[in-house]
Structure 1
Amino acid sequence: MKSEVENKPRVVIVTGASRGIGKAITEAFIANGDFVAMVSENKDELQAAAASLSKPENVLVLDGDLAIDDFVDEIVEVTYSKWGKIDVLINNAAWRTIETLNTISRENWEKTLKICLTSPVFLSKLAAKKMASGREGGVIVHLSSVMAERAGGSSPAYIAAKGALLSLTYEMAALYGPSGIRVVAVCPGNVTTAMSSNFKDTEGIDVSQSLVDEMEDMTPLQRSASPEEIANGVFWLASDNASFVNGTSLVIDGGFAHNFNSYKNKKLQFPNEF
C-alpha cells in the first residue's frame, strides 16, 4: 500500500532515458503519475521515447552530452525551474568501449569516466542541494553493475567507474543522510539491451550471442533480465517502501554473482539434478 507521501507526484531525473533500462525506469515513474526529466545525447531517439509514454505531458526532454560540464549543470537547473523541486535522481547513463587496458586510449578512458562517474557525481551534488532545500529529502540511485566486483578484463574504464559508484554510494549516503536524502546503488547482471549486444571479435564478427549464452549459463535463473525488471528494483528503492534502505546496493542478477560454475559443468557432474 502506498503512503500519502508516495501518492504525491514526484519530480525525477533519469539519465540515459531514451532506451533500455533508462526508458523502462522512466515508464515506471510516469505510470505512477510522476514528472520525469528524460536525459540523453540522442535527440531524435529521446523525443521518440518521450512521445511513446502514456503521459508525455509529464516529461521534460533534455538532450545533450553528459561529458560537458555546462550540460550537467543545466539538467538540474532547468528541471528545478520547471517543477520547483527534485525528488529523485537516477544516474543510469553509461558509455564504454570494449578493449583491454593494454590498448585503451587516454581519450576513451577519460570519456568513460566523465560519463559514467564524473557526471553522476556532480549531478548528485547539484540535485542534493535542491533536495535538501525541501522538506521531504530525496533519493539518489546509481546504476552500477555486477561487473564492479566481477571484472572480465575487457572494459577497464567502465569497471573502474562502476566500482567507484559503489564506493561513492556509501560516501554520499553518509554525507546526505542527515538531510533526509537516501543514496543507493543497483547492480544489474546481464540485461537485454543494446549495450549487451555490441560485442565483436578482432575480425569484426559479432560474438554477442555467445557471450550472452555464457552469462545465462552462469545465472541460476538461466536467462537475462529485461529492462523492466531492473526498473522495478529502481522504482522500489526510490519509494517510501524502501524508506530505511540507504548506503547500500541492490544486486539484480538472477543469482549470477554467487554462483560458482556454469550449468553446463554442473550437468557433467549431476546430469539428473541440473
Structure 2
Amino acid sequence: MNSRPVVIVTGAAQGLGAATALEFANRGYDCLLIDRNATALQTITAEIETLGRRTIQCVGDLADLQFTRSAVSRCKQELGRIDVLVNNAAWRKIGTMRAMQVDEWDQTLRVCLTVPAFLAKWCAAEMEPAQRGVILNISSIQSKLASGISPAYIAAKGGLDSLTYELATLYGPAGVRVLSLNLGAIDTEMSADYVSEDGENVSDALRQFAEGMIPLRRFGRADEIARSIAMLASDDASYMTGACLEIDGGWTHQSSPYRLKNKQFPKEFPES
C-alpha cells in the first residue's frame, strides 16, 4: 500500500488549483490532478514530479460524470488511497438573470455543485473504511454577498455551503471531515475576465473597488490560499468540520469602502 497520502485536486492546471497541487506535493502528497487543459496540466505535473511525488493526470470534462467517477477509481487503483479531495474547479458565465440561458445555468450548477457532490460521495466511499479523510469545497463569499451578475454561480456556491453541512453530518462518524472555504478576491484567471456589454474589460475597475473594500487592501495570492487549504487538510485542523470558513482578507465583515472612510477620517484611514 502507498505510504504517502494522496490528494485529488480538480481544476488543477492553473491558478489556485495548480498552486494547491504544488503545495500538497511539497507536503509529501502524491497527486491526482483533473483538468481539461492538457498542456497546462502537463506543466504543473512536471513541476510536482521534480519533488519525487507520483502524479496522475486526468484530462477531461468534469461535467461528464462517467469521466469524473473513473478518475476516482483510477486514483484508488494506481495510488492505493484517497486522503483529501479539493473540489476547486468552477465554471460561470457573467451576466444577469435577465440574460441567463438554461444551458448556462445547468452547466454552472453541474460543474460547481453537482460534480463536487458526487466527487465527495465517491471519494468518501474510499475514505470511510480507512476512518479518515478530508473533503474541502472551494466556495466563495459570493454565496452570501450577491453581485447581481452571476446568478447561477452564486446559487451554486450557496448550495455548496449547505452541502458541506450535510456531508459533514453524514460522514463525520467515519472520521471524514468536510469544510467549505469561502474565498474572497483571489488573483487568478477568473478575476480578470469581467467584460462590459460593449466588450470593454472592466476587471481593473472592479479590482480597484474590491481592494477598496478589503481591510488587507489587496487580492489574495494563489500560493497563500493554497497554504490555508493544505493546513485545513492537515491534523492541525483535526477538530474542524461542518464549517464555512472565510478567507477573504476581511472583506465580508466590513461595510464601507476605504475611500469613504478616508473622507471622514483622513488621518486614520489613508486613501491608499
- TM bucket normalised to smaller: over 0.9
Task: Report the CA distance between 1:55 and its aligned residue.
Answer: 2.6
Matched position secondary structure for 2:31: strand
Give the corresponding residue for 1:129.
Answer: 125
User: Contact between 1:132 and 1:180, CA under 8 Å: does it hold in 2?
Assistant: yes
Q: Which 5+ residue runs of structure 1 have no aligned equivalent?
A: 1-7
**Aligned counterpart for 2:51 among listed residues 49, 55, 66:** 55
User: Contact between 1:131 and 1:137, CA under 8 Å: does it hold in 2?
Assistant: yes
Residue 269 in 1 paired to residue 264 in 2?
yes
Give the corresponding residue for 1:160.
Answer: 155
Matched position secondary structure for 2:252: helix
Question: What are the Cα deviations for residues 181-230 of structure 1, in whole angstroms up to 9, with x where unaligned?
Answer: 00001111100000000011111011101101100100011000000121
Residue 114 in 1 paired to residue 110 in 2?
yes
- 1: CA distance, partners of 2:43 / 2:224: 22
- 1: CA distance, partners of 2:46 / 2:153: 31
User: Contact between 1:146 and 1:188, CA under 8 Å: does it hold in 2?
Assistant: yes
Task: Report the CA distance between 1:56 and its aligned residue.
Answer: 6.3
Letter in 2 for 1:68: D
**Aligned counterpart for 2:96 among listed residues 97, 100, 103:** 100
**Aligned counterpart for 2:140 among listed residues 138, 142, 145:** 145
- 2: CA distance, partners of 1:68 / 1:62: 12
User: Contact between 2:22 and 2:44, CA under 8 Å: does it hold in 1?
Assistant: no
Letter in 2 for 1:217: G
Question: What are the Cα deviations for residues 67-95 of structure 1, in whole angstroms up to 9, with x where unaligned?
Answer: 11101111110000001111100000000
Cα RMSD (Å): 1.0
- 2: CA distance, partners of 1:245 / 1:9: 23
Give the corresponding residue for 1:206.
Answer: 201
User: Contact between 2:28 and 2:53, CA under 8 Å: does it hold in 1?
Assistant: no
- 2: CA distance, partners of 1:12 / 1:125: 15
- 2: CA distance, partners of 1:124 / 1:64: 18
- 2: CA distance, partners of 1:151 / 1:208: 18
Residue 86 in 1 paired to residue 82 in 2?
yes
- 2: CA distance, partners of 1:124 / 1:257: 27
Runs (4+) off by over 3 Å: none
Q: Which 5+ residue runs of structure 2 have no aligned equivalent?
A: none
Residue 20 in 1 paired to residue 15 in 2?
yes
Matched position secondary structure for 1:168: helix
User: Contact between 1:50 and 1:56, CA under 8 Å: does it hold in 2?
Assistant: no
Task: Report the CA distance between 1:52 and its aligned residue.
Answer: 2.4
Give the corresponding residue for 2:4.
Answer: 9
- 1: CA distance, partners of 2:259 / 2:106: 39
Sequence identity (%): 42
Give the corresponding residue for 2:68.
Answer: 72
Task: Report the CA distance between 1:57 and its aligned residue.
Answer: 4.5
Q: 1:62 to 1:56 in 2, by over 3 A?
A: farther
Task: Report the CA distance between 1:140 and its aligned residue.
Answer: 0.2
- 2: CA distance, partners of 1:58 / 1:137: 21
- 1: CA distance, partners of 2:257 / 2:52: 44
Q: TM-score, normalised on structure 2?
A: 0.96
Letter in 2 for 1:59: T
